[in-house]
Structure 1
Amino acid sequence: METILGLDLPTWWFLVIGGLITGYGVLDGFDLGAGSLHLFFNKEESRRLALNAIGPVWDGNEVWLVIAGGALFAGFPLVYGVVLSTFYIPFMLFLVALIFRAISIEFRSKESWKWWRKMWDISYTVSSTTVTLLLGLVLGNLIHGLPINKDHEFTGNLLTFFNPYAILIAVTTLSLFMLHGAIYLVMKTEHRLYTKLTVIVNNCSKFFILCFILTSMATLIYVPHMTERFKQFPELFAVPLLAVLTLLNIKRNIDARKYFTAFLFSCIITACLLILFAVGLYPNIVISTIDPAYSISIYAAASSVKSLKIMLLIAAIGTPMVIGYTTFLFWTFRGKVKLNEMSY
């Protein structure tokens, strides 16, 4: 098979899609985490400040998810079909929750009625938490494996998705995004809300550390196939080592109230955990629990070589543009949040 820089085209596309999903997790993760924490803020001003902290960036961050879905369809159409048909109900709930998150942000401050704002505050928190938990549930099931038969058909039911390991991954994802969001909010706020958030950040870090330890132990014990690649290539142990060191540095910087550095480390650990997921799966994308022979690898699911080459060129041109736009957006809206007549 034709290679570029020593890697074949399906592997390149596996990396591209992994990079896009990682970008989404890092960027939209703090938005979703901020939404999950929203009801912890009791005062109207605090809730408005929290909303305006993510207001300029949340919709731009979702672009990464859209691109990742398009890249999966273009690069691995078989996987796209199997995954979307398998997780049909979770993905529909995911889309509904995304819609309600968006309209909650936009509609909340359109009226001054107390019940109106409270309704959309609840909707914002519930939808953000639902999106996060569903992402974790899908991720957990892909790690654990799915009952896929030789015809690539899902033979389970809705309850199949709610296995203990997938639920643990969902809760861990929620704890990570809550920590990520809390650190972002504490960077963007001041005075009374800043003080409250310092306590929330500390509690979220403890919650995530507990989930991180439990998930690591459960993966080693109950999902042994995720460690096979690390046994074959011991140098890959640098990734989990980096994740552990990053976690320690998050806690250290939170205790020192160096929140910008802590936020950078929370971005890194999000990326590390998704890299661990990708390394454990490769070269498969969908693992069958019925028979390993029924698993879907990147080579069996890839588009034609010509299609992969053309789309890889398009990705090489488009990805820097998206990164540039995202960087410009964050630079433009840097600094502490201030409320004015244009605020949510």
Structure 2
Amino acid sequence: MTEGRSCPLAYRYQPASLCGQSTPVTEDVLYVIGGLYGNPFALDEIERMALAEERQGLSVKLVFNGDFNWFNASDELFREINNRVLSHTASLGNVDYELSTPSVGAGCGCAYPDFVDQGVVERSNQIMGKLQDVAGAHPDIQKRLASLPRYHCLLFGGLKILVLHGDPESLAGWGLAHESFAAGNGQQVEEWFRASGADVMAATHTCLPVLWAGDVDGRSCAVVNNGSAGMGNLRADPRGLITRISRTAAEVEPVAGIVAGELCVDLVPVDYDLNAWLAQFDRLWPAGTPAALSYRERVLGGASLTSADLVFPPVL
């Protein structure tokens, strides 16, 4: 196993097993929150958004689908993030898995594909090493993380919403990544919908957002990947993104959205206090550290995509 490039066998699962049982959602709105990456100010804003919806008479369910840890490399922030997240419904990402149950040779557990620069891979392994040192001082949190599932199948609006981290074959899979859709992986995605029986797949892990809608044997299906809740996803835009699923339109204007059955599936921005987070980020990860080299520019200025780049098939 090449550290950071491959993933442990424990990350693997069979698509046909993912929606064997489903849990009904009784709330009006579902937030799927992937890639919080230890950002407490993004979490503050997400909770504020949910409260605003509740004041409008809508109940909101928060579901965290992994990698809520990453930059929170201090004892205080590690405990804060995990205690707050684990008060809601949560499932594992590769980061959280490697903090609870480290795998020999996995490194960060990201399973980075070949198009990711080796320097990024090595720095991610170093970030993981530092975070594992912090986590080791909190065995109670590690035990709680180890008890989390790797995915959830939720029954909402008459549809099966498969909430997972990577893709339907692996906790760290890249099959639902923006790069995979850009390369034309529609056939593989359709096979996963057939095997799983899901109507909507809500993923994260791969850091760039995606919306896909397609017909699978006469059944309308959709994929949503929120990229990152805790750092920017669009060009010159430092806001995070979460997935919002509901019969009602979002009060906050989404950056992109599609319709699945009677549900609106939207990518909604998380306009958190960037200055406060940047100050804390710089204290935890000063210039020259792995996280600063890999992520500070993105925290400050977002990624390379525009909202028009998010939807597949492309709108012509």
TM-score normalised over the length of structure 1: 0.26
Q: What TM-score do you get using the length of structure 2 for normalisation?
A: 0.27
Higher percent of residues as helix: 1
Which structure shows the higher strand fraction? Answer: 2
Larger Rg: 1
Larger RCO (CA under 8 A, 6+ residues apart): 1
